[in-house]
Structure 1
């Protein structure tokens, strides 16, 4: 048999539900569909696990011998396939529930599919969230008829269809205030990036250039990361977390992941600029080492610090990351934990501005900024919504 499963939460944690469709081996004949209320305070990932569990239970009851499970949650697919560790306690518990269910089958495979390929289960999960919002207790609350073409034979929607259909469902899960569609001309929710600078380190406290150096957070930095995490938890709506590979960012990201119930993805290209011979120096010390070069570097993005990396090279690599994330998390919200210069690059992209804006921005430790990128139909393709917010640190 074939299972398509999904789950979601409105707020993260928040009102949560899952949807599951069990097909015969032809991928067309619907054997069972399930609308399941997870609860009023659960994470998106927990809801996805419940969708998978309901599929395993249904396939077992229907007598399946082999099972193919398709989900648009890379996290659940990779964890159930044994390639990723399960760190979050709630998901560890759910994975343990899955083990005896797996024993009923000769073979079970887990495969990731794009969200557009999982629209039937996604629609059922939204019905479950509606039921949870209406006060239904956790449990199966029903099922609906599913179009025959749903499942593994679904056609890939066109770009226009994806904007209208795929993103419409996501609108209810977006965090913070509404989108400025009345003047951007956007017809679907944006892809939102919440940009969090890491907390304090000894090098940042000493006002030293800290590029590829790898200091840990100070005690104050740990407190700053925790404060940012609490604020993000209260706001909700984060769908994924990505971070620079350096320790100070990973620590900051993991503080948020712990409260949000999400895994952290490390992206090497989110690392800070390589300052070369200026690494570990203060601004004045670097200027004294090579005054003319340092002065030119501040105004010319193509100038490279001695043995380091130019601002333009950094901007190019961060722009590639942003485009990839925008494609992978279309219409969703991604927490990006990084450093001063990569975050400024995201903001520069949102403003569609030249490199001159970089030296005119100041970002505090553990500060938050928010940028949004819209679909191609929008008159205005991107916006800066929040800049250098530190209210959570007061």
Structure 2
């Protein structure tokens, strides 16, 4: 079951006076903007405008997926409390709007949350655009290709997509001039594709998402069987993924033991070619395949090199796939990748959960940017020199801040006390205008005598201790460092405390490799050795949501798409 966030606002200059609303629908898993809508309403009150914004947002979410769950965020205390059933609705102009809003989705499928005005800037901006434009303002809708819900058959467009017209949402404001919904297709610069590290079979199966376009587009199926989109008078056939895109070799799907033995805490650099890898949620394949290195398994038949056959705790570089999905002029199949993303979201959605469980505590886990030790693949925990970010790391932090600003859902920022995490958090805080709280429970593991050493140096100096550490989560690094078991106990306690403190909120946790992998491992109920089987790049983003009944869902892992130039 999909989950959407609706942010809505309305305003009136005079109350009553010239009024308008704005609303935006976001994907709850990724923060991606799916729909924007605004409309000039004529002369109405502020509260009526707010209700009209809510109604438009719910309808837009229903158009995307009638079976979805929706979490509404508004800065109108009146609307939130009334729609939550805690306050009575007395005003005659608002009663019918509230009843209409309550009928868009079945009872229990929509939850409401009040947020401060500064956290509702997106919808507020749209409402002001409507009022600024006056009677000439249209209800503008932007849909991304991922906004549509696919059908099972790639060649068939859904009935809902086919029945929408360019004037789908016509309303008559008080001024007497009806405004028309104008559908605009928003195509991202890069089309998401299957994970660079593990292409799945789904990557080669075209889905209806490839054939779907915005509400304004008329769709036809030519004799060749490929859905085409009418753009003016130009018929553009939908791209069909190549056969090779969906056929990874067996080696690509079966990571070797050597590839699995990577440290949960080691520093990571971008693979050769400078293209950081991404994972679930926003899946894409780098334009260049990382070249093999002494510590990276080669792509040839999936067989690691001799050097790669030895477990590397410090190496966090991803193994390139045994067979790279075929592209055409750098364009990858959107259909298969979106199918992977939808599958991941379906697994993450708590469809079995009670309807009254409310919004989860959502932790956006951001790893700090690079330090001088990162490209050298040296152990860098809490017991070492506490390095600051490098110039590359500061640029990574800046790009992460821009991505989080675009996401628009962060309400609090917490950071590990180490310099590299505080610097990364500060870059985000400056961009979002949110203060940073230092959280000691997010600190990196202490690697004892191994701090500052490469994996090879540790293997030469402390071979027995390293062997025990790789095999037993209770084993400590040489010199009395922190074991992975002790780290897990610490992170679990920190998680429980933060989930209770930030119930229903979205919190950015700026931390390190081991804590982030541990959050993910505990959410999945995975064994300790899974720490060695996760890729986590510098300045990467992961997301875990925690529900009131104790369940958790991993919604994103190792996203670095925003780091690309």
Q: TM-score range by the shorter chain?
A: 0.5 to 0.7
Q: 1:180 corresponds to which residue?
A: 349
Q: 1:72 corresponds to which residue?
A: none
Q: 1:225 corresponds to which residue?
A: 397
1:187-336 paired onto structure 2 within 5 Å: 187-212=357-382, 213-306=385-478, 307-336=480-509
1:346-369 C-alpha deviation (Å, 9 max, x unpaired):
101110122111111120000011
Hey, what's the Cα distance between the residues in 2 that align with 1:227 and 1:143? Answer: 37
Q: CA RMSD in A?
A: 3.9
Q: Is the 8 A contact 2:388 2:420 kept in 1?
A: yes
Hey, what's the Cα distance between the residues in 2 that align with 1:293 and 1:356? Answer: 17
Hey, what's the Cα distance between the residues in 2 that align with 1:386 and 1:15? Answer: 25
Is 1:354 aligned to residue 501 of structure 2? no
Runs of 4+ aligned structure 1 residues displaced above 3 Å come to 14-18, 125-135, 140-144, 170-179, 183-187
Q: How many residues align?
A: 258
Q: 1:32 corresponds to which residue?
A: none
Q: Closer, same or farther in 2 for the Cα pair 1:267/1:295, shift >3 Å?
A: same
Q: 1:390 corresponds to which residue?
A: 560
- How far did residue 258 of structure 1 move? 1.4
TM, length-normalised to structure 2:
0.41
Hey, what's the Cα distance between the residues in 2 that align with 1:334 and 1:228? Answer: 15
Q: Is the 8 A contact 1:199 1:221 kept in 2?
A: yes
Q: Closer, same or farther in 2 for the Cα pair 1:361/1:371, shift >3 Å?
A: same
Corresponding residue SS for 2:495: helix
Unaligned runs of 5+ in 1: 1-9, 19-36, 42-124, 151-163
Task: Pick 1 or 2: higher relative contact order, CA cutoff 8 A, min separation 6.
Answer: 1
- How far did residue 168 of structure 1 move? 2.8
Q: 2:544 corresponds to which residue?
A: 371
- How far did residue 188 of structure 1 move? 2.4
TM, length-normalised to structure 1:
0.57
Hey, what's the Cα distance between the residues in 1 that align with 2:371 and 2:358? Answer: 40
Corresponding residue SS for 1:317: helix
Q: Is the 8 A contact 1:171 1:331 kept in 2?
A: no
Which has the larger Rg? Answer: 2
Q: Closer, same or farther in 2 for the Cα pair 1:195/1:142, shift >3 Å?
A: closer
Unaligned runs of 5+ in 2: 12-18, 24-45, 57-74, 88-106, 123-280, 282-344
> Which of the two has greater helix per residue?
1
Q: 1:169 corresponds to which residue?
A: 112
Corresponding residue SS for 1:204: coil
Q: Closer, same or farther in 2 for the Cα pair 1:292/1:193, shift >3 Å?
A: same
- How far did residue 247 of structure 1 move? 0.9
Q: Is the 8 A contact 2:473 2:528 kept in 1?
A: yes
Q: Choose 305-314 or 193-202, whichever is displaced more.
A: 305-314
Q: Closer, same or farther in 2 for the Cα pair 1:129/1:216, shift >3 Å?
A: farther
Q: Closer, same or farther in 2 for the Cα pair 1:239/1:128, shift >3 Å?
A: farther
Q: Is the 8 A contact 2:50 2:76 kept in 1?
A: no
Q: Is the 8 A contact 1:171 1:189 kept in 2?
A: no
